[in-house]
Structure 1
Amino acid sequence: MAYKITLTPSGHSFDAPADETLLNAADQAGFKLPYGCSAGACGACKAKVVAGEVDHGSSQEHALPADERAAGMALMCCAKPLSDLTVEVREVGALSGIPVKKLPCRVQKMERVAPDVMLLQLKLPASEPLQFLAGQYLEFIRPDGSRRAFSIANAPHRNEFVELHVRLVAGGEFTTQVFETMKEKDILRIEAPLGSFFLREDSARPIILLAGGTGFAPIKGLVEHSLHKGYTRPIHLYWGARDKAGLYMDALARRWADEHPHIQYVPVLSDATADDAWDGRTGLVHQAVLEDFADLSGHEVYACGAPAMIDAARQDFAARGLPEDAFFADSFTFATH
């Protein structure tokens, strides 16, 4: 059985089978909705069901708390229709026309930029260039069919390769493979581009970029794209890490700030050691933003990192006036198997 789904405010509508998620059904109908992990964990695809009923499926509590569920919110990547629906959601027109491809790639370069961070460069087939938006991600398709997602760290004008920043996760099978057995010239398989984390170029609002750890990867892509396009919207980049080694491209970020007056860079360490000899900002990176901005109502925020950081930033920034539609996030979820 299929139900009629109407999107508001666009007025677009499509049919969705009862056993299909709303995100997949919309995509098959040619309508692009915001999304991130596609596993009910990040909250990027959250939307309001204005009329009708859904099965929430595997939505996770931290991404869709009980009070939000009771208020009619749902995660489009998990929710399936139980009736005709009207859903209030922002469509993402910029994703239209960008094909998602499954491609082989070759490991071109491996560089350990921190004790637990590996920079990978993947060479793509010359006959199949990859079109993507800065900030999107890819998934490795492993031989057993399982997948691992990593943000693309370069801007799309440099699409002869794809750059990734892979952090070693304790007990993580894939990241252990990257650090222990992977070698240059290995052939891997990917699907890309994925996700709706990208720069909204039709806005003139000042930008706050919030990165935690290797959440710097898509943020780097956003900055490089912005510079390539010649945009001069004020950018305030906050990068948080446990220790100084975690700021594995600190020199690059400082160079951006030195060379471009519209870019400010604030590194923040949460667990600096004596060896770090750190005299900069300390604590939680999103708290540093709160210390610097009493009113966020005129800004846009692009946040990337651990779910706890994303959730705290979303809540605390909203309390400072940040509009709900001005917070864009890429929440990292980690798989060990």
Structure 2
Amino acid sequence: MAFNVIIQPSGHSFSMEADETILEAGLRHGFVLPYSCREGVCGTCKGRLLQGTVDYGKYDETYLTGAEKAEGLALFCTARPTSDLIIECREVSAVKDIPVRTMPCRVQKLERFDDVMVLYLKLPANERLMFLAGQYIDILIKGGKPRSFSLANAPHDDEFLQLHVRNIAGGEFTNLVFTKMKERDILRFKGPLGSFFLREDSTKPVVFVASGTGFAPIKSIIEHALHTGIQRPMHFYWGANTLSGLYMLEKARDWETHGIRFTPVLSEALATDEWQGRTGYVHEAVLADYPDLSGHQVYVCGAPVVVEAAHRDFTSLRGLPQEEFFSDAFTPASKT
């Protein structure tokens, strides 16, 4: 059975099948709604049902509470229609004309930083991937679930696609990367994906917050901004447990010479780290520095708990408008 969906306030409409999610159908028709995890565990795709009914699907109730459902909210990455719909959400027009492709690539180089492996992937001759700084790709695993990784290189620096892979205990793909993968191995991926990228139509100051390998898409965005000469004030906060978690610390410090403010934060610094910088949780460092975020844009990437805490506290305690919070939560893949 087919249903019709109207997006407000744009007035765009599309048809969809009952077995599709709203997000899947919108993407199929070229309408990009905000999204990240596509599994109901980050809240990026949350929007409002103005008319009609849905099957809400399977999701983490942390990101869609009963009270929010009662207010008409839904996660569009899991919700499927049971009637015609009118929905309210902002559309991401900047990615509409970028094709999502499935391509092979070759592992050109592996560079290890403690428990993070940086992969450099080479595309076939005469091929390039069009993407926006901050987007991600899915590595396709034969017989298993795709693994999502943000692109850490900026679009202008596209000789190789750069991925930052953390070694997660019990992770099937990360075990492959750290113990078996070698140069010249062939992988397949699908992308670019995601709506985490710098909104360049704004002139507001920007605060970036990353935890762990959430550094990767922030790196892409900042390098893109420096390359294109974007003049907006930018302040980057990078949080990790210990000093080794700030695996490209010197690169981030180098951005300071180009006008990017940088604040590294450690939550569990070791005595051997001899750390003299900020300590605690990374989003709390932002709270301490910014009593008012009402005139800013904020981009947060990393562990879901960091994204959730930043969204809650920045909007409720510091006046950040909901529509100026952008995030990409790194959710671990299931062992399939």
Normalised TM-score (structure 2): 0.98
Cα drift, residue 125 of structure 1: 1.3
Name the counterpart of 2:70.
70
Name the counterpart of 2:323.
325
Structure 2 counterpart of 1:311, from 305, 308, 313: 308
For residues 269 and 34 of structure 2, the distance between their equivalents in structure 1, rounded to whole angstroms, comes to 36
Task: List per-residue Cα deviations over 1:4-36 (Å, max 9, x = no partner).
Answer: 211100011111221211111112222111111
Name the counterpart of 1:251.
250
Task: List per-residue Cα deviations over 1:59-94 (Å, max 9, x = no partner).
Answer: 221221222122111111110111111100101110
Please tell me the residue identity of whatever aligns with 2:169: A
Structure 2 counterpart of 1:281, from 260, 275, 278: 278
For residues 195 and 58 of structure 2, the distance between their equivalents in structure 1, rounded to whole angstroms, comes to 21
- 3-state DSSP class of the match of 2:190? strand
Structure 1 counterpart of 2:261, from 259, 264, 270: 264
For residues 196 and 215 of structure 2, the distance between their equivalents in structure 1, rounded to whole angstroms, comes to 13
2:23 maps to 1:26: no
For residues 205 and 53 of structure 2, the distance between their equivalents in structure 1, rounded to whole angstroms, comes to 38
- 3-state DSSP class of the match of 1:221? helix
Cα drift, residue 145 of structure 1: 4.0
Name the counterpart of 1:166.
165
The 4+ residue runs of structure 1 with deviation greater than 3 A are: none
Name the counterpart of 2:59.
59
Alignment of 1:3-18 (within 5 A): 3-18=3-18
Report the aligned-residue RMSD: 0.9
Name the counterpart of 1:188.
187
- Asked if the contact 1:47–1:74 (Cα under 8 Å) also holds between the matched residues in 2, the reply is yes
Cα drift, residue 336 of structure 1: 4.6
Name the counterpart of 1:92.
92
Instruction: Report the count of equivalent residues.
Output: 334
Cα drift, residue 253 of structure 1: 0.8
For residues 67 and 270 of structure 2, the distance between their equivalents in structure 1, rounded to whole angstroms, comes to 40
Normalised TM-score (structure 1): 0.97
What stretches of structure 2 of length at least 5 have no aligned partner?
none
For residues 218 and 26 of structure 1, the distance between their equivalents in structure 2, rounded to whole angstroms, comes to 24
Percent identity over paired residues: 57
2:327 maps to 1:335: no
- Asked if the contact 1:171–1:336 (Cα under 8 Å) also holds between the matched residues in 2, the reply is no
Name the counterpart of 1:302.
299
Cα drift, residue 233 of structure 1: 0.5
What stretches of structure 1 of length at least 5 have no aligned partner?
none
Name the counterpart of 2:129.
130
- Asked if the contact 2:145–2:333 (Cα under 8 Å) also holds between the matched residues in 1, the reply is no
For residues 11 and 188 of structure 2, the distance between their equivalents in structure 1, rounded to whole angstroms, comes to 38
Change (3 A) 1:15 1:31: same
- Asked if the contact 2:304–2:331 (Cα under 8 Å) also holds between the matched residues in 1, the reply is yes
Task: List per-residue Cα deviations over 1:276-305 (Å, max 9, x = no partner).
Answer: 001100000000000000000000000001
